[in-house]
Chains A and B, each alone.
Chain A
Amino acid sequence: MISEEKIQSGILSRVSREDEWGKAQQRLVLYLQSLKIPPFEVLELALEALKMAGEKWESAEKGDPPVTASMRALRQLLSRRKPTGELKAEIKQRILILPFLEESDLFCGIKSMPPLNRGTMLPERARQKLSSHLTSQPAPS
């Protein structure tokens, strides 16, 4: 016979597991909303990530906590999204970010600075002393 304690701890364990997955779901949605992804895509991606994480979690003996597993699953999903031409234009407009830290341009070519065109601007060397080292240039006529 299963003791009441075991039943209670089983219920608690199931409840706390559900809480954990609920937390994971909230975390995923929050993350995707922060990326300014449209709402229907947010729910789609969150669900897919939860499924991926759930499958891995069931099969593993000691898996990561649901939140950790879900976030990693989400990153994997996002990394598979390659920007197409149409998406690139969308990205430029919405600045949708794809987490390619190791790849090139996260903003698809958007830079905050133009190409360098270096020149020199020397400080007045002759001002080391306040007298005869200063050079003078007569004004052109």
Chain B
Amino acid sequence: MNPISFDKPWEKAAKIRRIFLLAVLAVTAFFASVHMTDVLPHRGTTRIEFVIVIVFAILFAWISIGFWEAVAGLFTLARRYDRFVVTPGKGDEVTLGGMRVPTAILMPIANEEVDRVFAGLRVIYESLEKTGELQHFHFFILSDSGDPDKWVEEEIAWAEICRSLDAFDRIFYRRRRVNLKRKSGNIADFCRRWGRSYRYMIVLDADSIVTGPTLVKMVWSMERHPRVGILQTAPLAVNRETPIARCQQFANHVYGPMFAAGLHYLQLGDSHFWGHNAIIRIEPFMKHCGLPRLPGKPPRGGYILSHDFVEAAFMRRGGWEVWLAYDLDGSYEEVPPTLLEEVKRDRRWCQGNLQHVRLLFTKGLFSAHRALFLHGAMSYGSSLLWFVFISLSSVEAISEAFRTPVYFLSERALFPEWPVWHPQWALTLLATTAIILFLPKLFSVFLFVAKGQTAKFGGIARLCLSLGAEVALSALLAPVRMLFHSKFVFITLIGRQVGWGPQQRDDRGTPWTEAIRFHGVGMILALLWAAALFLIDRSFFWWNSPIFIPLIFSIPISVWSSRAKTGQWIRKLGLFLIPEEIQPRHELESLRRMLYRQKISRTDSPRQHQEGFVKAVVDPWVNRLHLSLLGRKGHVSEAIASKRERLKEKAFFQGPVNLTLKEKKDLLHDPKALHELHERIWETPESEIAHLWGLPS
């Protein structure tokens, strides 16, 4: 395969496009702010009004970015030609025949649902097998699971999948004993151990699905363009049933391709990296993308949480390009199933993105990536600005109601200054803002209509109805998200840390108690705010009703939007349909069937219900498997050996329920103790002890 080298005309084009974008943003934000000062009673001359105008200018510029991205995307997709793509065209023969070095497909996991992870892996494996290019790929499950039961379940699942696919030399499993630097550390550990054996690595999430042909195209593209360091696909959201997730899936399918094309148009070789569903050139990654530890304590200092943006910036700084393969399909992910899971995820992303602000002035970084850092921080910072804007506006409105008007602001003024709200101007401004927010959605629908692809969404009527429903649901959820994001930004800025466990990736729903716990305070604040406005300034009350009404009803909204049954009912109505539901893709259908079969088969074997740790101790097959994967252990000190002996006695006589997580992990790490415990349990004639460990007594 002869690689094509760019002579970097894209850099010039990118520069021109971005300068144009900045100019347009500045001009439109300026005029919008001027209009805003006209709306305000004192024309922005008071301190509060001045701050309101500044905040409004920033927010207006911020939402305009999305609008212009959509315009760029519309332009790109409508003309069906893009001279700066790195992915294969229709006429290209995509094979990896000349490659001698395999590509590693990595799935970093930490306490995920084991069935789901391995079902996804199997689907990807089989899809790749069908392409005839399987020999060019190896798979790595990189586990950071601290839960002893998950650890053992992963080992069992690994052995089962390798046995069924005869893939012991192709699918590998590694569990890190110390979870250093979380996901980025997990990937770095892989690079340090095996990075030199591979040229590329494709990083997936626990819920990612990438089809075989797409994987092959990704590798082909990297081979063809030797200066590309990272190639990011634009994953589409699938597989969810809840109303909120279905809404997001729909939005992702309808607007996503256009926005991705727009991002590509502006970024070109300075693109995003989202941390998954992307292929990375390993050598420059190892050389340039080792992450620093930020000075100071978490959350602002310490290890970088949102590592992907930083890795892309460092890769670019090292002279390698980062591209977005917006036109490559077959890449999928799953969105959080409930509003609360989404905000839990956003909490850690918020902390990670705000850390990037500390890297804004790092030497050597390209301005595009500095802008991306700022953009990432603003993704959450804008919520706080919106909150500030609403608060200051409310304070202004309330204080105007109590303030005695001053008509002559200076002694020598000849004419009075009338402090007046201009609602018609406010409506004009509102309409402009609405156009900026909603017109891109219409662009997307227009594209599908123009290309005759509305059948993918159930027809034009259903597409339009779904669009309306999406706008309505997003409008209901926006104030709730604003409140949470504002809180996250605030607590990060004051130095409180984020902890996170694994995300709930299935459609279990939000209980009422949890919804009350998370939304209760916001609901009370909204009620108080609404009451104050209602009593003091009725017109301002109605202006802000689209904000406080969703906040007041956030508890039922949160619960209702998390119910899978409600989502299924919505689907039956023909709303939020996506192409993968109308014409299911083979891989996704295969995944769904596999998960269903696993659910059924779990009830067949009585020992299936045993926890992983108990299986490792009791089940001879699992015990041997675990000991084999553990390998040999070196000599331990007398103190530790004695401690382990006491632990073994405790485990034997008291059973697994009386062991702490740490004790279980200590046992799992000690092959001698584990093996001796295993033998002793099987040999014991004491029925009570046998019963403690699940043996028939």
Q: Which residues of A contact B (CB under 8 A)?
A: 20, 23, 26-27, 30-31, 34-36, 65-68, 71-72, 75, 92-95, 97, 99, 101, 105-107, 110-114, 116-130, 132, 134-141
Contact = CB atoms under 8 A, between A and B. Distances in A.
Nearest to A35: B620
B626 to A, nearest CB: 10
B191 A121 contact: yes
Interface string B189-231: 0011111110000000000000000000000000000000000
A34 B620 contact: yes
Contact of A31 (B173, B191, B620, B684): B620
B188 A121 contact: yes
B292 A135 contact: no
Interface residues of B, number: 59
Contacts of A117: 193-197
B255 interface: no
Contacts of A94: 163
Contacts of A110: 162, 168, 628
B293 interface: yes
A135 B685 contact: no
Given A121-B290, A124-B292, 15 more contacts: A34-B607, A65-B685, A67-B685, A75-B679, A95-B621, A106-B627, A110-B162, A112-B173, A114-B194, A116-B194, A122-B290, A129-B295, A134-B364, A138-B319, A139-B319
Most chain A beta-carbon contacts within 10 A, residue among B159, B285, B292: B292
Nearest to A23: B685
B602 interface: no
A11 to B, nearest CB: 21
30 contacts: A34-B619, A65-B685, A66-B685, A68-B683, A68-B685, A71-B679, A71-B683, A95-B163, A95-B621, A99-B620, A106-B628, A107-B625, A110-B628, A112-B155, A112-B158, A112-B172, A112-B173, A113-B173, A113-B193, A117-B195, A119-B192, A120-B286, A121-B188, A121-B192, A127-B293, A130-B294, A130-B358, A136-B317, A136-B364, A138-B319
Interface string B279-297: 0000001110111111100
A95 B161 CA distance: 12
B380 interface: no
A13 to B, nearest CB: 15
Chain B at the A interface: mostly helix, strand, loop or mixed? helix
Interface in B293-342: 293-295, 314, 316-319
A118 B358 contact: no
A78 to B, nearest CB: 10
Contacts of A65: 685
Contact of A123 (B163, B174, B291, B295): B291
Interface in B72-112: none
Given A113-B173, A124-B291, A97 B621 contact: yes
Given A119-B196, A130-B358, A134-B363, A34 B628 contact: no
Nearest to B607: A34
B620 to A, nearest CB: 5
A126 B314 CA distance: 13
Contacts of B138: 114
B358 A97 contact: no
B675 interface: yes
B191 A119 contact: yes
